[in-house]
Structure 1
Amino acid sequence: MTPKEVLALCRQEEIQAVDLRFMDFPGTQKHFTVPVKALTEKSFEDGFGFDASSMPGWQAINESDMLVVPQAETAVVDPFMKATLGITCNIEDPITREDYA
């Protein structure tokens, strides 16, 4: 699925929220939700910023800004949450844009 197809799916299914999902180091799925209007084609390149300092094993507070970058091919309408699209994201360093692992 392409970013354009994801956005079309959101319109077709009347999606209201996008659940951005990613894994922490022990393998537990983490997530946060944004309104569907925040999801644009550019979001699939630029990602969404978040503070990773509260997650064990991640960055210190002074270098905790990270990006979650949605992966269009993982988008799925969540069957358990009303009008919600779930999408798996990669974590990237916002400066180097390297995957954070």
Structure 2
Amino acid sequence: MAKDKTTPSDVSKMIKDREVKLVDFKFADLPGTWQHFTTTLTEYNEDIFTDGLGFDGSSIRGWKVINASDMLVIPDPSTAWIDIFNAEPTLSLICTIVDPI
């Protein structure tokens, strides 16, 4: 029997149960190199799984010029895992990147 798909509510429960302090958003750039940025829990809510979270795409090679650099990460809840190698309990999520326009 297949495991049910992880939901945003499951991720929120994981954050609470594991006393997560940080969220790390991971994605691949155009050449396929992993990129990421980390935020505190103040940036986290279940809406990011549908609405996304904004970031500056001009810092990622090949994406956007500085004057039109707003991008969104949309995390996939099924990729949620706790990164045990960070000093603070950190939730890691793999994301899709979208242009908000």
Q: How many pairs align?
A: 95
- Indicate which of 62, 77, 83 corresponds to 2:89: 83
TM-score (structure 1 length as normaliser) = 0.88
Match of 1:32 in 2: 37
Match of 1:46 in 2: 51
Write out aligned runs for 1:86-101 (5 A): 86-95=92-101
- Indicate which of 9, 12, 30 corresponds to 2:14: 9
Q: Percent of aligned positions with the same letter in both sequences?
A: 46
| 2-structure distance, mates of 1:61, 1:28 | 20
TM-score (structure 2 length as normaliser) = 0.88
| 2-structure distance, mates of 1:4, 1:87 | 14
Structure 2 residue identity aligned to 1:35: T
Structure 1 residue identity aligned to 2:28: M
| 2-structure distance, mates of 1:84, 1:59 | 28
Match of 2:3 in 1: none
Three-state SS of the structure 1 residue aligned to 2:84 is coil
CA RMSD of aligned residues (A): 1.0
Structure 2 residue identity aligned to 1:93: D
Structure 1 stretch displaced more, 69-78 or 31-40: 31-40
* Unmatched segments (≥5 aa) in structure 1: 96-101
* Unmatched segments (≥5 aa) in structure 2: 1-5
